[in-house]
Amino acid sequence: MQSSTATASFESPPIDAVGVEERVARLCSRSIKKDAKLRALHLTLSMIDLTTLEGADSEGKVRQLCAKALQLHAALPDLPHVAAVCVYPALVGVARRALEGSGINVASVATSFPAGQAPIEIKLLEVQKAVEAGADEVDMVISRGRFLAGDFTYTADEIASVKEACGEAHLKVILETGELGTLDAVRRASDLAMRSGADFIKTSTGKIKPAATMPVVLVMLEAIRDHYLRTGEKIGMKPAGGISTAKDAIRHLVMVRETLGQDWLDPDLYRFGASSLANDVLRQIVKQRSGIYQSFDDFSM
C-alpha cells in the first residue's frame, strides 16, 4: 500500500512521556490468573523468535537452538511451536536445514547488525544473501546516526531499499529505541518505518540497554494502531531485549489486547525477541498444571 518514500510524511504526533508511564502502570495492574494465564503462556510461546546473536555462534550452537525450537519440552504435550529462530546471516542455511518442514520460520538479522554502520550497498547485499540462504524474515537496523541527525529522508529510503531487497521475505525494522532518547523520537521512527515498507517494527537489537521497555512498546503499538486506522494495513510488533520472564510477557499481551485488540494477539502480528523467555514460560506452564515450580535445570537450554 502506501510505502513509497515519495508519499512518506515525517509528521508524527507529540507524545507525553508522563502520561505514557501512567498508562503503562495501569495496564500493569491487570491481574491475569488461571485459564487466562495458561492461554497467555501458550500464546507467548507461539510468538517467540528464539534468538542467538553472538560473535561466538557456530553451526553446533544454531543446531542446538533449532532442536530446542522443535521440542521445547519433552514431557509437555500440546505445546505450540515458537514462531521463528533468529540468527546471523552466515548461519541461516544451518537453521533452514534444521527447521525444514517444521513450520518454524528462519529469521536473520542483516544490514550490518547491530550498529548498522556500513555502506548501503553492503547492507543490501547482506540482506540478499540472507534471503538466498533461506531467511523467511529479515530484521534490519535503521541508521540511528542519520535519524538522530534529522536525515529522515535517508532513513526512509534506506528502509524502502531494504524492503525491496527482501523480496518475499518479511521485513522487521529495528529502531534501537535505547539510542533514540525520547518517546517522540520512537514515535517518529515507528511512523517512518511503517510508511517506508516495514512489515514489523521492532524495538531493539538486544545489544543496547534499555531495550523493550513498556512505555516504548506502548508508543509503538499506538503508532501501529494509528497506521492501521488510517490505511487499513496491519503492521506487526516485536519487542526484543529485556523480556525474560513470563510475567513480563503477559504484561505485554495485556498491553497489546487493550491497545490493538484481539487481532494482534497472533504470531503473524506480534513476536517476542528473546533468548531466555521460553524456559520461564515453560516453567510457569508446568506450575499452572502441576501446582509446583521446578528447578531451571529441569528445562533444557
Partner 1 sequence: MTKSTQAAEPETPKLRFGGHDGWGYAPAPESTDHVELRDRYGLFIDGEFVDAKDGRTFETANPATEEKIADVALASDADVDRAVAAARRAYDNVWSKLAPRERGKYVYRIARVLQERSRELAITESLDGGKPIRESRDVDIPLAAAHFFYYAGWADKLDYAFPGRGARPLGVAGQVIPWNFPLLMAAWKIAPAIAAGNTVVLKPAETTPLTALKLAEIIRDAGVPPGVVNIVTGAGETGAAVVQHEDVDKVAFTGSTEVGKLIRRALAGSGKHYTLELGGKAANLVFEDAAVDQAVEGIVNGIFFNQGHVCCAGSRLLVQESVADEVIAKLKDRMETLIVGNPLDKNTDIGAINSRAQLDKIEEYLEIGEAEGAEPFQTSCPVPERGYWCRPTLFLHASQSHRVVQEEIFGPVLAVQTFRTVDEGIAMANNTPYGLSGGVWSDKGAKAFRVTSRIRAGVLWANTYNKFDPTAPFGGYKESGIGREGGLAGLHAYLQPEAAA
287 binding partner 1? (CB under 8 A): no
Nearer to partner 1, 35 or 297 (CB): 35
Task: Single out the residue of 41, 43, 69, 217 in contact with partner 1 (rule: CB under 8 A).
Answer: 43
Peptide bond into 89 cis (omega under 30): no
How far apart are CB 224 and partner 1 at their closest, in Å?
A: 11
Torsion of CA 290, 79, 89, 241, to 10 degrees: -40
Total site size for partner 1, rule CB under 8 A: 46
Residues numbered 184 to 213 that lie near partner 1 (CB under 8 A) are: 199-200
Beta pairing, strands 236-238 & 200-202: parallel
How far apart are CB 145 and partner 1 at their closest, in Å?
A: 27
Cα separation of 118 and 97, whole Å?
A: 29
* Residue in the structure block whose three cell numbers are 543446531: 63
Chain centre distance of CA 41: 17
The one catalytic residue among 49, 139, 191, 280: 139
222 binding partner 1? (CB under 8 A): yes
Cα separation of 123 and 129, whole Å?
A: 10
Nearer to partner 1, 65 or 140 (CB): 140
Cα separation of 174 and 131, whole Å?
A: 18
Instruction: List interacting residues with partner 1 (CB under 8 A).
Output: 1, 13-16, 18-20, 22-23, 29-37, 39-40, 43, 170, 199-200, 222, 225, 228-236, 253, 257-258, 260-263, 265, 268-269
Which residues are marked as active site?
139, 202, 238
